[in-house]
Amino acid sequence: MEITLSVLKADIGSIGGHIQPSRALADKVLEVVQHKGRKHLLDSRVSWTGDDIAILMTHQQGPGAAVIHEMAWEAFLAGTEVAKLQGLYGAGQDLLSDAFSGNVRGMGPGVAEMRFQERDAEPFVLFAADKTDPGAFNLPLYRAFADPMNTPGLLLSPSLTEGFHFVIMDVAHTGRDRVIELQAPEDLHRIAALLRDPERYVVESIWSRHSGDQAVAASTSRLHNIAGKYTGKDDPVMLVRVQKDFPATGEILAPFSTGHFVAGGMRGSHNMPLMPVPLNAGTSYFDGPPIVTGAAFCVHDGKLTDPVDVFAHPFWDRIRDQVADKAVDMRRQGFFGAAMLPMDELEYTGITTTLDGLDDRFHVRPDGPEPLRQAF
């Protein structure tokens, strides 16, 4: 059976600041999806990560289907109305357009979709991150699909040894999608040269070279490229099929034990470690730290199992302690140096107003001896 997996996410309102949505908001989104999806959906789930609501859907309309995107858009609008009635913070924050125009890409919500023929057993993991941007998935994907030090299947499984096809997007390009397609392992160093810059180059999709099937679909939206100003972090989502011709679930999860530094945290302007957390977790310290959840499913004839929380295992408690230590260590540095993002990522924030106001106060010293400074 050929099906499409679609996940669309948006920040449409949160309790207590940027923490997590209300139960009433989540229930309204689910209600709309279930009501309007009766004709078009095979199954659906609604969850949240931090202050972002994610709608996971199975259907046979294909990626980018207007009827599916419009239904999700209407669910987000309905949730926004609940957020306004409850006085939640940031109601409708990620909805950057007044009217639906056939597809939510470029309208604010993050989107990841893939179409495939179901295997006899079809396991996959939905990852959702908050307080960070799409480049947060670069390192885990590189390690899982290209590094045999992380993924022994690249050595032990003949189908994985053939490698993977990476599609990488230049998210700084604001016109039509600018992408490059590279092969692992032949282009390994070229892939690394791009993915080391996660604010510009991000993985859009990964494909098996053995079967030609798609393994990964990741959202790539940069909100400041859409809105022209800072409206919150991009908070990406990602679908990863696992097992058989793809890395095993454990090989996909292992890189998240690093707690690697990503862009995000407070006001989306800092470098902070990414913390794997249980499903439906909120944020806390310094509007973070940046978090990622993982929900493992199987799907058969388009019907989803209940999710398994991949980061709820006791192993990850110790990882969370280590990530918390890294976060506090970085915050001891305050605003200085690597603790904050470079200026090209801050240009959409209010710091530009401060710097513009200082520009006229600079002066060029004349040649000759420094004049005596007058008392202020």
Q: What is the DSSP string of 111-147?
A: EEEEEEEPPSS-EEEEEEEESB-GGGGHHHHHHHHH-
187 is in an annotated binding site: no
Higher pLDDT, 144 or 376: 144
The three-class DSSP label of residue 262 is strand
Helix boundaries (H) for 174-314? 188-195, 223-227, 249-253
What one-character-per-residue DSSP string does 55-98 give?
Answer: EEEEESS-TT-HHHHHHHHHHHHHHHHHHHHHT-BTTTTT---S
Active site residue 11: yes
| Residue 353 predicted with pLDDT over 60 | yes
| Residue 233 predicted with pLDDT over 80 | no
- Average pLDDT rounded to a whole number, residues 58-78: 96
* Structure confidence at residue 274 as a pLDDT band (50, 70, 90): very high
- Average pLDDT rounded to a whole number, residues 31-35: 97
39 is in an annotated binding site: no
CA dihedral angle for residue 220, residue 224, residue 230, residue 236, rounded to 10 degrees: -10
Higher pLDDT, 107 or 263: 263
Spatial neighbors of 119 by CB under 8 A, at least 6 apart, are 244
285 is in an annotated binding site: no
Round to whole Å and give the CA distance between 146 and 164.
8
130 is in an annotated binding site: yes
Lowest-confidence range among 74-78, 255-259, 287-291, 306-310?
Answer: 287-291
* Structure confidence at residue 224 as a pLDDT band (50, 70, 90): very low
- Average pLDDT rounded to a whole number, residues 177-204: 96
Task: Please calculate the CA angle 189-210-7 and round it to the nearest 5 degrees.
Answer: 80
Q: Which of 176, 127, 119 is nearest to 301 (CA)?
A: 119
pLDDT on residue 334: 93
pLDDT on residue 288: 85
Instruction: List the domains of the chain with CATH numbers.
Output: 1-117 (3.30.70), 119-355 (no CATH)
326 is in an annotated binding site: no
Active site residue 230: yes
- Average pLDDT rounded to a whole number, residues 212-237: 74
Half-sphere exposure of 93 (CA within 13 A, CB side): 26
pLDDT tens per residue, range 78-92: 999 999 999 999 999
Report pTM: 0.93
244 is in an annotated binding site: yes
- Tell me what the pLDDT averaged over the chain comes to: 92
pLDDT tens per residue, range 117-128: 999 999 999 999
Which member of 133, 142, 187, 233 is catalytic?
A: 233
41: amino acid identity, one letter = L
Element (H, E) at 34: helix 23-36
103 is in an annotated binding site: yes
Long-range CB contacts for residues 309-313, cutoff 8 Å, separation at least 24? 309/278, 309/279, 310/125, 310/249, 310/253, 311/253, 311/256, 311/276, 311/277, 311/278, 311/279, 312/278, 312/279
Which member of 9, 11, 142, 326 is catalytic?
A: 11
Round to whole Å and give the CA distance between 33 and 54.
11
Residues in the chain: 376
End-to-end CA distance of the chain: 78
Which member of 9, 28, 230, 326 is catalytic?
A: 230
pLDDT on residue 96: 82
State phi, psi for 286 to the nearest 5 degrees. 55, 45
Round to whole Å and give the CA distance between 204 and 137.
10
| Residue 95 predicted with pLDDT over 60 | yes
Q: Give me 338's structure tokens.
A: 């690597």
Higher pLDDT, 268 or 274: 274
Active site residue 233: yes
| Residue 220 predicted with pLDDT over 50 | yes
| Residue 227 predicted with pLDDT over 70 | no
